[in-house]
Amino acid sequence: MKINRALISVSDKTFIIPLAFLLQKNGVEIISTGGTKKHLQKAGINVVDISSVTGNPEAFGGRMKTLSFEVESALLFDRGRDKDEAEKLGIKPIDLVVCNLYPFEEVAKKGAHFDELIENIDIGGPTMIRSAAKNFKYVTVLTSPDDYPSFMEEFKNNQGSVSYEFRKKMMVKAFNHTADYDSVIAQTMDQETGTLSKRLHFTDGKNLRYGENGHQQAVFYRLKDAGHSLHGIEILHGKQLSYNNILDVTGALYSVREMQSPACAVVKHSNPCGLAEGENLRQVLEKAWQGDPVSAFGSIIAFNRKVDKSIVEFFRLDAKDKSQRKFIEIIVAPGYEQDALEYLKHHKNLRILVYNPADLPVTPDYRFVPGGLLEQTPDDKLYEKLETVSGDFSQISQELIDFGLKAVKNIKSNAIAIVGEKKGYRYLMGMGAGQPNRLVATKLAIEKAREFLKMEWENHKNKDWNTFYNREISRALLISDAFFPFPDNVELAAGNGIKYIVQPGGSIRDKQVIESAKELNINMLFTGIRHFKH
């Protein structure tokens, strides 16, 4: 469709001058309103005032400009079926609408007074946009400066015309634009009247390999206007991702996101079964893997630093004896040296992903439940206080406490983490996750910590096992995501050589738990912050 006549009325005037110059150069008549008209005229562009089309002046402080039979008819009439009727009524077609709306959302974010909000509700703009979008078979509509370059390219390449495919694409954008606009207004007005409401817009849905199970289908959507989104994760190699892959990758990235030092997480079923941080990333990977080598089979590995070949050679993917190769499903890191990338490709099905954990957006947590939506602020606080309620913590570094809390907050509740520190490296020795009984979670964490230390002992054997175990476990830190309701967890920890416990406190039996810790020579610290993760 050749463009002969355009209506331009924009709040955001970004790049509007180059667009208007191109239209004028190609003989397109430009109709405009109010501030847009002045802006174009100041740049030397010839503009027809909207009132010459409507037959009426702009009125009521600008509330009435484009709303008219003449304008909407010029946009809406079917160029084939209604041509004779339009000529009889004196309606001249408008072929292009360039319009973006009053900045209601921006004004609302600044905390504007209610009356100012009302004045920033656009009426004529959405009407024009929707009219042009409905009649996209003949009319082009542009609602974002981001689309001007592609329009201008179309316009130049087609001698002043625009293709059907482009018009259809712009139509979809236009209806989304007005839907989002009305959604923001409705939500803001709900807030003004004390009603909590939530409207979310997700776009760019893409099919995943399958859902939580093979017989389930799954789609991954992007939250509109999200600065960073896992939806945009880059896949350098390997199969398409599944629903579970996305959840596990999320858990892995969150596990290393807050670590200041080079860090690695080994994740299975969204839980870090291995986690470590320290100076050398290869050593960090080895410590993380040692957290639970059995569970690490088929795991997701996440790093918070760029990866080189010396690090990934740990997986022995080129070993002639295939039993020596370490099988992992996914590796994700901020980047890869070329030699590391080529080495990882030895595993033809390994998904190699690029994403920087630091880019994970700090957004509210949403959880859909049948017929409803839960929303909460993120768990972004490690502790409220560090109150020693039993013994002495002078031998435990602040870095280890922080590491342990970062670990336990990423483990499903009920959660217990046992962490250790040696020569500048901090690591997860054992964890109990997702247990309905905290005592069972503690048993599991101790059992895994024992296995961790057994591997360390077998590498050196410079002391007898019991001596080595008692020395190492006495330096470890047991962290609970929530308070201990009874002394039984303290008694179990003490019976297995644990000397240091960190928990939030807050139980009605805190006094009883503290007394038990003192009797058993357990050093105990209260943080005042619970870290449930359901």
Residues identified as active-site? 134, 269
Distance CA 408, CA 428 (A): 10
Distance CA 10, CA 419 (A): 58
Distance CA 76, CA 138 (A): 9
Residue 475: both structure tokens together: 């330096």
* Structure-token match 């802006």, residue found: 39
Distance CA 98, CA 144 (A): 8
Q: 477-480 and 416-422 as β-strands: parallel, antiparallel, unpaired?
A: antiparallel
Tell me 112's DSSP state: -
- Alpha helices per DSSP H over 26-143: 34-42, 51-54, 69-76, 83-89, 104-109, 114-119, 124-134
- Alpha helices per DSSP H over 357-437: 398-408
The contacts of residue 266 (CB under 8 Å, 6+ apart) are: 272, 273, 274, 275, 288, 289, 291, 292, 295, 296, 299, 300, 301
Contact present, 161 and 109 (Cβ < 8 Å): no
Q: Following DSSP, what letter does each residue of 76-96 receive, concatenated? A: HS-TTTTHHHHHHHTPPP--E
Partnered with residue 430 across adjacent β-strands are 418
Q: 299-303 and 263-268 as β-strands: parallel, antiparallel, unpaired?
A: antiparallel
Main-chain phi, psi angles of 466, to 5 degrees: -60, -40
Contact present, 479 and 408 (Cβ < 8 Å): yes
Partnered with residue 142 across adjacent β-strands are 98
Residue 194: both structure tokens together: 């004390």
Q: What interhelical angle do 438-460 and 488-495 show, nearest 10?
A: 10
Contact present, 429 and 418 (Cβ < 8 Å): yes
Q: Is the dihedral of CA 375, 378, 381, 382 positive or negative?
A: positive
Contact present, 266 and 273 (Cβ < 8 Å): yes
Question: Could you give the angle at the alpha carbon of 451 between the alpha carbons of 459 and 249, nearest 5°?
Answer: 105
Residue 514: both structure tokens together: 């503290």
Question: Could you give the angle at the alpha carbon of 339 between the alpha carbons of 333 and 345, nearest 5°?
Answer: 70
Partnered with residue 333 across adjacent β-strands are 354
* Structure-token match 């099988």, residue found: 327
Torsion of CA 412, 415, 421, 427, to 10 degrees: -30
Distance CA 418, CA 397 (A): 15
Helix (H, G, I), strand (E, B) or coil at 469: helix
